[in-house]
Amino acid sequence: MNDKLAAIFKAYDIRGKVGEELTPEVCEKIGRAFADWLPEQGPVAVGRDMRPDSGELADAMIKGLTMQGRNVVDLGLVTSDMSYWAVGKYDLAGSAMITASHNPGKDNGVKLYRDKVIAVALDSGLDKIRDAVLADNFKPAAETPGTVEKHDIMDDWVEHCLTFVGDLKPFRIAIDNGNGMAGAVLPHILPKLPIQVEEMYFELDGTFPNHEANPQHVENLKDLEDKITQNNLDFGIAFDGDGDRAALVDDKGRPVLGSDTISIVSQYMLKKYPGAKIIHEVRTSRATQELIREWGGEPVRTKAGRVNLAPKMAEVDSPFGGETTGHQFFKDNYGADSGMITALVAMQAISDSGRKLSELVDEYHRYESAPEMSFHVEDKQGTIEKLREAFKDGTQDDLDGLTVNYPDYWFNMRPSNTEPVIKLNVEAKTKEQLDDLINRIKEVVG
């Protein structure tokens, strides 16, 4: 049982199958362990998404927190980025968000943040929370349980989001909410913007009846692409299940790659913060790094994973950081990521450019690339060492897995944190070079 329970504690959050791996009893224990571990005293926010069991799990989390004497701010139904922001806005000791993000409806999970809006990952406290849960080892329950205060933060959140936009063109766009949590926020924001919106799947439904709420998978963007091309719209936006990621589709119905979105937002941010350092991760296109330099900024590279970008931003005083999977981080949002703010800033950047989104994408997309590929291997590090030897004539670094650079192409191979899998990202000047590089890598991996 302990092995099964330990497995729900992932590198960046907690996720498991409801009823089998993640139960109210487990959430109560997580709440107790989180309350005990948090370095700062003070209240803890608890939010939840629209999944059928999220309310029950949130109640259990609140029970565990209050049992240990923690006061709780019950946020109710919110997007994940609202729960992160609440920690900074209301100076809380932390937050627990009940969500499995884009995972199927049979899954659920918990995203934890501590004070100063710092994500709690396996190497920064989640391991200690896990160990306490596995050992059933908590401080004695408080003589006086903590209190619970319900707090509706929607108006404050909407006001905050709107500070990221100014004068916008009267765009005609489509938004695919995927039945996720952003559907609770959009009706409060859209009437305040000079745009016409084709609304798609705005109803909150944690069973995701229309398609998986993961815009990183292109098959989930098909309905949005069709809506854009059939109605001759300016572009489209898709949100993931818990609303902390947004993806773009251009006026030609083409999904915009994460690196190209980082480029679009980076140009806007560098006009606002000239000469700034822009954070990106190891999978980011070489074109994005080149463009940041051309626009007078300094690209700063870090490990992939949403828990790595915000600390790097704080370290080098960066106003913006982007991850290719769609997580975009803003200093003016307490360094946290937000799908809604990404959508608004991207909209503002497109508006200010005076050009079509497709024109920006065509200009910024300088290299050929392939979708991230996964290889099942038993010896992840051994396979990476084989690649290191096979490509020893390239410039190599080990910031996150193995990255090998050549003048005309590069690749990064990273081991998965949770599976016997290594993940390949690759880019080249031409399609022929790209295909050749992929084939060479496949020969080594076997």
Contact 409, 395 (CB under 8 A): no
Does residue 369 have an active-site annotation? no
* pLDDT number for residue 180: 97
Q: Which has the closest alpha carbon to 117: 331, 342, 340?
A: 331
pLDDT above 70: residue 442: yes
Would strands 421-428 and 368-369 be described as parallel, antiparallel, or unpaired? antiparallel
Whole-angstrom distance, CA of residue 211 vs CA of residue 222: 10
The pLDDT tens digits for 115-160 are 999 999 999 999 999 999 999 999 999 999 999 999 999 999 999 9
Whole-angstrom distance, CA of residue 66 vs CA of residue 145: 5
* pLDDT number for residue 351: 98
Confidence band, pLDDT 50/70/90 cuts, at residue 105: confident
Amino acid code (one letter) for 155: D
Whole-angstrom distance, CA of residue 201 vs CA of residue 203: 5
pLDDT above 60: residue 88: yes
Whole-angstrom distance, CA of residue 213 vs CA of residue 206: 10
- Which token pair is 372? 């991230």
Mean pLDDT within 317-328:
97
Which residues lie closer than 8 Å to 80 by C-beta, 6 or more apart?
Answer: 47, 49, 97, 99, 101, 111, 181, 242, 243, 244
Q: How big, in percent rounded to 5, are the helix, strand and coil portions of the chain?
A: 40, 25, 35
Residue 379 burial class via C-beta count within 10 angstroms: exposed 0-12, middle 13-18, buried 19 and up: exposed
- Which token pair is 244? 């902390």
* pLDDT number for residue 25: 97
Contact 98, 47 (CB under 8 A): yes
**Helix spans in 19-89 (H):** 24-37, 54-67, 80-89
Contact 76, 68 (CB under 8 A): no
Mean pLDDT within 48-54:
97
What does the radius of gyration of the chain's CA atoms come to, in whole angstroms? 22
Worst-scoring range by mean pLDDT, 38-42, 281-285, 388-392, 432-436?
Answer: 38-42
* pLDDT number for residue 1: 53
pLDDT above 80: residue 92: yes
* pLDDT number for residue 202: 98
Amino acid code (one letter) for 101: S
Residue with tokens 């016409």: 196
* pLDDT number for residue 381: 94
* pLDDT number for residue 167: 95
Work out the mean pLDDT of the chain and round it to a whole number: 96
Contact 283, 412 (CB under 8 A): yes
Confidence band, pLDDT 50/70/90 cuts, at residue 323: very high
- Which token pair is 294? 């051309």
Whole-angstrom distance, CA of residue 336 vs CA of residue 79: 13
CA angle 203, 156, 74 (to 5 degrees): 70
Coil, strand, or helix at residue 108?
Answer: strand
* Percent of the chain at pLDDT exceeding 90: 95
The residue annotated as part of the active site, out of 80, 83, 95, 101, is 101
Contact 345, 165 (CB under 8 A): yes
Whole-angstrom distance, CA of residue 283 vs CA of residue 367: 13
Cα-based distances in Å from 52 to 40, 209, 326: 32, 13, 26
Whole-angstrom distance, CA of residue 439 vs CA of residue 434: 9
pLDDT above 60: residue 54: yes
Contact 411, 404 (CB under 8 A): yes
Cα-based distances in Å from 39 to 44, 126, 181, 186: 12, 13, 30, 35
Q: What is the DSSP letter of 130?
A: H
